[in-house]
Structure 1
Amino acid sequence: MTILTNLILLPLTLLTTLTTSSTAATLETPKSRTLHPELNAALRTAATSFDRAALLPNNADWTYDFTKHPNYDSPTGAVINADAATFPAVTGLGSSVALLKLAPCGMLPPHLHPRATNIVTAITGNTTTWMIGENGVGVRRVELLPMMVTVFPQASLHMMQNNDCEPSLLISSLNSDDSGTLNILPSLWSVPQDIIGAGFGNDAFNAADVGKDIPAVGTGAIIGSAECKKRCGIST
């Protein structure tokens, strides 16, 4: 390759690098949550239910303790999953459950589950949920009070916020042991700026500036709206 060619390609390489990094900064490096991959693999390939049970011989194998999770006491709240990755006993059973702990004004930002329908039961608090199933169907808003239930069909976009100045607790049941979660905003801002601008119908849209404060996935929960924070005296 000639010196002239290098001089031409270098600015293009730098531009590509800067464009990609400016929008991808909010995405975390992927890391598997699976605690016992060999056991998961053995459970999935067991010839019979009897053989499967033999792989889980202890009483402790059939128990999951949410309070032992490192995010249980997170100040912003957390989504704590008892699924194939963390609770091998559910591997292959097509079911899992998650504890949703929302701090005062806590929020689960816009996301979807690509492989599961999600039924959420409110235990405490006053939580508002929003769900969009597909183009054209509109938004479904639900006010969840204790002992009330709502459903988010598989792959539907949804979000929720605790409206109280006290923590709220919800239980999420999913019909998959590996439901997956896709947070919409960090994912969208991982693509090149000009593509984001085109999606917004504005080539001058400054995607890097708008997206620089998008929270990382983190514990799954963040602090929500400015109105709630002002009402509850939250400064973060």
Structure 2
Amino acid sequence: MIRFFLSLFFFGAALAVDKTSNPDLSGRLKMATTNLDRHGILSSNDDWTFHYDKQDGYTFRPGSVVNANAATFPAMTGVGMTLTMLNLGPCAMLPPHSHPRATNLVVAVKGNTTSYMIGENGVGTVEVNLQPNVMTIFPAGSLHAMQNNGCEDAQLVSALNSDDTGTLNALNGLYQLPPDILKAAFGYVDMDIQSMGKSVPDVGTGSVKGSDECFKRCGLSH
């Protein structure tokens, strides 16, 4: 298990950071006094329609995290929820991350995905096999990761109880610490920790290539 999570850490990428698509509209919605006022602002059918597959970064190669929230879909402003489409190509994964402001419910639509969740110090790892119609829970602040174990695309739907959940990726956050603090945190191990940090990708579409075992089993190349 430790070896698995180290492989996730060293090849992980941060989940996508959502930028507010229409700041003016979002501001007007936050200032609306009544629901009737909201409908006056969201006056067209298009204002109430969100196409996941038309969003930037929607892909299965290696995969993506597409959020419908207050930033990407202004009609979600004040609703208190985020609804996310998770796409995982063959052997793709979501690296370890947490949501500081939301509990996360995930249900599988297709594929064979394994999730890993650690709640806090002293709590063991919860491992769930997410096949179609199976759901799991990631409590707010918990560290969690997911990998598509199959050689075909996997898709999952994620619901979070905030329209501004926040995402903190373990490695991207870790490597913002000073080098001497980072070395001490790793227990002064005999390896070049700082150089490894340089290979951690920047924020992308949210999904990255997973384990070597899966790639070999599926006959894929990195």
How do residues 13-92 of structure 1 correspond to structure 2 at under 5 angstroms? Answer: 33-92=19-78
Q: Give unpaired runs (5+ residues) of structure 1.
A: 1-25
State the structure with bigger RCO (CA 8 A, min sep 6), 1 or 2.
2
Partner of 1:131: 117
Cα gap change, 1:32/1:102 in structure 2, threshold over 3 Å: closer, same or farther?
Answer: closer
SS at match of 2:25: helix
Instruction: Name 2:202's counterpart in structure 1.
Output: 216
- Range 47-56 or range 201-210, more displaced: 201-210
Superposed counterparts of 1:194-209, under 5 Å: 194-202=180-188, 205-209=191-195
Structure 1 consecutive aligned stretches of length 4 or more whose deviation exceeds 4 Å: none
- TM-score when scaled to structure 2? 0.89
Q: 1:183 aligns with which of 148, 158, 169?
A: 169
What SS does the aligned partner of 1:229 have? helix
Look up the match of 2:221.
235
- Which one of 135, 139, 142 corresponds to residue 156 of structure 1? 142
In structure 2, list runs of 5 or more residues that go unmatched.
Answer: 1-11
Q: Paired residues, what number?
A: 210
What is the SS of the residue equivalent to 2:106? strand
Q: How many angstroms apart in 2 are the aligned matches of 1:235 and 1:79? A: 23
User: Percent same amino acid among aligned pairs?
Assistant: 51
Deviation per residue, 1:47-105 (Å, 9 max, x gap): 11111221100011011001111212351110000111110001011011000000100
CA root-mean-square deviation:
1.9
TM-score (norm 1): 0.84
2:84 corresponding residue in structure 1: 98
- For residue 209 of structure 1, give the secondary structure of its aligned residue in structure 2: helix
